[in-house]
C-alpha cells in the first residue's frame, strides 16, 4: 500500500521531499482551521534564510540542492539552430528541464516569498535588488498592468491566501488542477519530448501537447486549463500561440491571472549548446490588462551529469542489466486529483 | 523489336489465365501495400496515433442484458465471467450496487490499466524507440511504456497506472504492468482488483488502422486464476481529429475561478 511503500523507502531526502509536498497539497481542503498549518508547511519549500538581523546571502548553485538556483541569468536570443535535430527536422531539445530561479510562490518577486506570509522566518530579508528580477520583464516596473478591478481581485487573493475563507482563495494548483500557462514552467521540473508534428511537455500537474501539425485550432468556446497550443520552429525558437484559456490557473500563490479572452504568444529560445532556454511570452487580454506585457522565465536542462533533485529533477536510476545510467521518471499524477480530499484523508480513514 | 516471348510456344488458350493470375498477383501486392503497418525507423511497429475502442467493455466486462446505465453486451472476457474468489465476489456485488456513486471514473480518478484503454474516450500514443507515451483524453493522464530494456523498479510505489515495461515479440508489443494501487475499477459495473494486480498486455496491428489489444490479468487477492480480455482499437481518422483536455476532476470546484468583476 502507499503508506507502507513510503515508510519502507530508505532513499530518504528526495522521495520524502516529494511526498511531503504532495501531502501538503493534499491537505489543502476547502474549509477548516487545519488549513493554516498545512499552508505554512507547503510554503516551507522555498527555504528562505532564517530570521537574523542581517543574514549572509545564501549561495546559489546551478544544479545544486534547493529550488533557487540563480539570481540572474543570461539572455538567449533568437537565431539559427546549429545543434542536433530530430528525424523530422526539429531542433532536438528533448529531456528534463526546470526553471532556475524560484517556484510559484510569488510571480513578480520570485525569490521574495509568499505575499503577506504571517511567518516572519519565511519573509525574505535581502534587498529586492539582491533577488531575481520580476517575471514581468516588460513594462520595466515589473508589474502586471492590471485593470483596477483585476488588481483589486489580486490583492484580495493575496490578503486571503493564508486565510482562505472562500474557495476562490485556494490556489487551484493546491487542488491538483493543472498549473496552466505560464505557471507550469516554474512548478517543479518537467520533461519535453518531441514527435513528428508535436512537442509534448509533461509537467507534474498537467500535460501540454503543442501542435506543429498544422491542424486547425479548437473552436473558441472550448476553454482549457492549458489552453490550445499551436506552434512552429523559427531557427532555435519554438513559437507557440496559446488561446482558449479557461482563465482559472493562477500564475502563482500571488494570484495573478488571465481571463478566457486572453492570448499568450510564447517564444522558447534555446541556446545552441542545448543547455538552456529563455521563455518569453507576450500576454494580451483586453478584459484584465491595460496593455500587453512580457513574461520571462529562464530554464536549464538537467541531465545524467546532475544529481537528482527532489524539485527540479525527480528521477530514479532504472533497473537494467547494462552499466550505463538510465533514468526513470515515475508517474506524474498529483495525488489530490484523484479525490476531493486526497489520498491522505482517504488513507487516514482506514 | 522482337517480342520477348517470340519463339516460345505458349498455348494460346492459356494466355487469358496467365493474365488473370498476373492481375491477381498485382492486386494482392497493392492490397499488401495498403495493409503495410506503420513502422519506426528501427523497424518496430509504430502505434502513434489517436485510438479508441467501440466495445462495451467499460460498461461491464462480463456478459449482461441491457439496463438503464448500460447497453447489452456479450462481454469482453474469454470464458465470459471473471474468476472471483468467493469473498471478492461479495465485494464486487457491493460495488455493483453502489456503482452510481462509487465508480472511481465518476469522481474523475485516473482510470488505470487496462480500463483507460477501452474507456469510451480517445487516447493518443506518442512513440519513440525508447518509449511509448499514452495520453488519455480522460483526465489527460499520462502513462509511459518503457521499451528501453529496463525492468520494474526495485523499490516501487503503488501507482494509478502501474509501472509498464515493454518488449517486442516480433511485431507484438508485450507490456508487463504491475505496482498498482487498489483505487481503480475495471469498469463501471464494479469489477475491481487489489494492489496485487498484474497485467500483461499484447498490442498488435490487425491492419494499419486497427490494433488488437489483449490483456492477461491476475490478482491472487481477488481472482482464483488469471483471465484474458480482448478489445479492438480503431484509429481516429476523422479529418483534423485531436485530443481535447478533459481534466474533469476539476469540475467540482472550477467555478471558483477565475476572478470576475464584482457585480454592481
Contact B158 A338 (CB under 8 A): no
Q: What is the pLDDT of residues A311-340, one digit of tens each?
A: 999 999 999 999 999 999 998 888 654 433
Q: Which residues of B touch A255 (CB under 8 A)?
A: 259
Residue A211 located in a structural domain: yes
DSSP for A258-285 reads --TT-EEEEEEEE-TTSSEEEEEEEEE-
pLDDT at B20: 52
Q: Is A23 within a domain?
A: no
For A324, nearest residue in chain B (alpha carbons): B150
Per-window interface: B 239-258 vs A, CB < 8 A: 240, 242-245, 247, 249-250, 252-254, 256-258
Write down the residue that cell numbers 481472482 correspond to.
B223
| Orientation angle between helical segments A13-26 and A35-43, nearest 10 degrees | 140
Report the percentage of chain B scoring pLDDT > 70.
86
**A167 chain-B contacts, CB cut-off 8 A:** 253, 256
B162 pLDDT more than 80: yes
pLDDT bin (cut points 50, 70, 90) of residue B32 is very low
Check whether B13 has a pLDDT greater than 60: no
Segment of A59-68, B25-34, B87-96 carrying the highest mean pLDDT: B87-96
* ipTM field: 0.86
* The pLDDT value given to residue A25: 38
On the question of pLDDT at B93 being above 80, the answer is yes
Going from the C-alpha of A330 to that of each of A320, B157, B179, the distances in angstroms are: 16, 9, 12
**What pLDDT, on a 0 to 100 scale, did the predictor assign at position B31?**
47
Residue A48 lies in a domain: no
Distance, in angstroms, between A328 CA and closest chain B CA? 9
Contact A225 B247 (CB under 8 A): yes
Q: What mean pLDDT do residues A91-103 have? A: 98
Mean of pLDDT values over B78-90: 97
Is the pLDDT at B238 greater than 90, yes or no? yes
Q: Which domain holds residue A204?
A: 56-333
pLDDT reported for residue A34: 36
Which pLDDT score, from 0 to 100, does residue B17 have? 54
Instruction: Tell if the CB–CB gap between A172 and B262 is shorter than 8 Å.
Output: no
- A348 domain-assigned: no
Q: List, in sequence order, every residue forming a beta bridge with B123; answer none if it has no partner.
A: B51, B136
Residue B121 has pLDDT above 60, yes or no: yes
pLDDT at B219 over 90: yes
| Pairwise CB contact (< 8 Å): A211 & B242 | yes
The reply to whether B157 touches chain A by the CB within 8 Å rule is yes
Q: Which of A14, A23, A131 is nearest to A65 (CA)?
A: A14
* pLDDT for position A235: 98
What's the pLDDT score for residue B3? 42
> Would residue A102 count as lying in a domain?
yes
Task: Please give the residue that has the higher pLDDT: either A235 or A56.
Answer: A235
Q: Residue B98: pLDDT above 70?
A: yes
Residues in chain B: 264
Contacts of residue A128, defined as CB under 8 A and 6 or more positions apart, other chains included, come to A109, A112
Tell me the chain A residues in contact with residue B184 when contact means C-beta distances shorter than 8 Å: none
Pair B62, B191: CB distance under 8 Å = yes
Burial code (b: 16+ CB inside 10 Å, e: under 16) for A108-123 equals bbbbbbbbebeeeebb
- Residue A201's closest chain B neighbor by CA? B142
Q: How confident is the model at residue B14 (pLDDT cuts 50, 70, 90)?
A: low
Nearest C-alpha neighbor of A105 from the set A252, A215, A274, A278: A252
Is the pLDDT higher at B9 or at A150? A150
Checking if the pLDDT of A20 tops 80, the result is no
Interface size between A and B, measured as CB pairs under 8 A: 157
Judge whether A7 lies within some domain. no
The percentage of chain A sitting over the pLDDT mark of 70, rounded to a whole number, equals 79
Average pLDDT over residues A102-120: 94
Domain for residue A148, yes or no?
yes
Min Cα distance B164 → chain A (Å) is 10
pLDDT of residue A56: 61
- What whole-number percentage of chain B has pLDDT above 90? 82
Which residue, chain included where needed, has cell 505560464? A182
Q: Report the range of poorest mean pLDDT among A122-136, A150-164, B3-17, B76-90.
A: B3-17
Q: Which B residues 46-75 touch A at CB under 8 Å?
A: 48
Residue A345 lies in a domain: no
Tell whether B172 is within 8 A of chain A (Cβ). no
Task: Say what the pTM is.
Answer: 0.85
Work out the pLDDT band at B264, boundaries 50, 70, 90: low
B72 band by pLDDT with thresholds 50, 70 and 90: very high
pLDDT of residue A163: 87
Report pLDDT for B263. Answer: 73
Would you call B256 and A153 a contact, using CB atoms and an 8 Å cutoff? no
Cα separation values, A49 from A63, A99, A122, A131, Å: 19, 20, 7, 12
- pLDDT at residue A336 in the model: 53
How many distinct structural domains can be found in chain A?
1
What b/e string do you get for B185-215 counting C-beta neighbours within 10 Å, with b at 16 or more? Answer: bbbbbbbbbbbebbbbbbbbbeeebebebbb
pLDDT of residue A175: 87
When pLDDT is averaged across residues A167-172 and rounded to a whole number, the result is: 91
| Contact (CB<8Å) A328/B244 | no
Return the closest-CA partner of residue A27 out of A178, A175, A198, A196: A175
Q: All 3 cell numbers of residue A157?
A: 487573493
Amino acid at each position: 500500500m502507499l503508506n507502507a511503500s513510503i515508510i519502507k523507502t530508505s532513499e530518504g531526502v528526495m522521495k520524502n521531499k516529494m511526498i511531503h509536498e504532495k501531502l501538503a497539497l493534499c491537505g489543502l481542503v476547502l474549509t477548516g482551521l487545519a488549513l493554516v498549518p498545512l499552508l505554512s508547511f507547503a510554503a516551507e519549500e522555498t527555504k528562505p534564510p532564517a530570521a537574523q538581523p542581517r543574514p549572509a546571502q545564501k549561495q546559489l548553485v546551478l544544479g545544486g540542492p534547493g529550488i533557487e538556483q540563480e539570481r540572474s541569468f543570461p539572455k538567449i536570443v533568437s537565431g539559427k539552430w546549429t545543434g542536433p535535430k530530430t528525424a523530422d527536422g526539429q531542433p532536438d531539445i528533448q529531456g528534463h528541464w526546470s526553471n532556475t530561479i524560484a517556484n510559484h510562490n510569488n510571480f513578480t518577486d520570485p525569490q521574495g516569498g509568499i505575499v503577506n506570509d504571517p511567518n516572519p522566518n519565511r519573509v525574505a530579508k535581502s534587498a529586492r535588488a539582491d533577488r531575481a528580477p520580476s517575471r514581468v520583464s516588460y513594462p520595466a516596473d515589473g508589474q502586471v498592468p492590471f485593470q483596477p478591478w483585476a488588481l483589486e481581485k489580486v490583492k484580495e487573493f493575496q490578503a486571503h491566501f493564508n486565510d482562505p475563507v472562500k474557495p476562490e482563495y485556494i490556489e487551484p494548483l493546491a487542488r491538483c488542477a493543472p498549473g496552466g500557462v505560464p505557471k507550469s514552467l516554474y512548478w517543479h521540473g518537467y520533461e519535453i519530448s518531441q514527435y513528428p508534428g508535436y512537442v509534448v511537455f509533461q509537467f507534474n500537474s498537467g500535460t501540454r501537447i503543442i501542435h506543429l501539425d498544422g491542424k486547425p485550432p479548437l473552436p473558441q468556446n472550448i476553454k482549457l486549463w492549458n489552453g490550445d497550443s499551436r506552434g512552429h520552429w523559427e531557427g532555435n525558437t519554438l513559437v507557440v500561440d496559446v488561446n482558449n484559456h479557461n482563465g482559472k490557473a493562477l500564475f502563482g500563490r500571488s494570484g495573478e491571472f488571465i481571463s478566457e479572452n486572453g492570448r499568450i504568444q510564447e517564444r522558447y529560445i534555446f541556446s545552441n549548446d542545448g543547455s538552456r532556454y529563455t521563455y518569453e511570452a507576450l500576454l494580451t487580454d483586453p478584459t484584465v490588462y491595460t496593455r500587453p506585457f512580457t513574461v520571462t522565465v529562464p530554464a536549464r536542462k538537467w541531465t545524467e551529469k546532475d544529481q537528482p533533485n527532489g524539485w527540479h529533477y525527480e528521477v530514479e536510476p532504472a533497473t537494467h542489466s547494462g552499466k550505463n545510467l538510465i533514468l526513470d521518471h515515475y508517474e506524474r499524477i498529483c495525488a489530490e486529483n484523484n479525490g476531493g480530499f486526497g489520498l491522505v484523508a482517504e488513507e487516514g480513514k482506514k | 523489336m522482337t517480342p520477348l516471348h517470340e519463339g516460345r510456344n505458349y498455348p494460346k488458350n492459356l494466355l487469358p489465365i496467365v493474365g488473370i493470375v498476373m492481375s491477381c498477383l498485382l492486386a494482392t501486392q497493392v492490397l499488401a501495400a495498403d495493409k503495410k503497418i506503420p513502422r519506426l525507423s528501427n523497424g518496430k511497429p509504430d502505434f502513434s496515433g489517436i485510438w479508441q475502442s467501440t466495445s462495451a467493455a467499460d460498461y461491464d466486462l462480463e456478459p449482461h442484458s441491457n439496463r438503464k446505465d448500460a447497453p447489452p453486451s456479450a462481454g469482453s472476457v474469454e470464458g465470459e465471467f471473471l474468476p472471483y474468489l468467493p469473498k471478492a465476489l461479495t465485494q464486487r456485488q457491493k460495488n455493483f450496487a453502489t456503482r452510481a456513486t462509487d465508480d472511481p471514473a465518476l469522481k474523475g480518478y485516473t482510470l488505470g490499466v487496462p480500463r483507460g484503454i477501452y474507456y469510451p474516450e480517445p487516447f493518443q500514443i506518442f512513440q519513440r524507440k525508447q518509449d511509448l507515451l499514452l495520453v488519455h483524453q480522460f483526465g489527460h493522464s499520462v502513462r509511459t511504456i518503457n521499451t528501453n530494456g529496463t525492468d520494474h523498479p526495485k523499490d516501487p510505489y503503488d501507482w494509478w497506472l502501474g509501472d509498464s515495461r515493454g518488449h517486442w515479440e516480433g511485431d507484438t508489443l508485450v507490456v508487463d504492468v504491475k505496482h498498482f494501487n487498489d483505487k481503480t475499477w475495471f469498469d463501471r459495473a464494479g469489477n475491481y482488483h487489489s494492489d496485487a494486480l498484474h497485467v500483461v498486455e499484447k498490442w498488435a496491428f490487425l491492419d494499419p488502422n486497427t490494433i488488437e489489444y489483449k490483456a492477461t490479468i491476475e490478482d491472487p487477492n481477488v481472482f482464483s486464476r488469471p483471465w484474458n480480455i480482448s478489445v479492438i482499437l480503431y484509429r481516429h481518422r476523422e479529418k483534423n481529429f485531436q485530443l481535447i483536455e478533459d481534466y474533469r476532476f476539476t469540475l467540482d470546484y472550477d467555478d471558483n475561478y477565475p476572478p470576475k468583476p464584482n457585480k454592481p
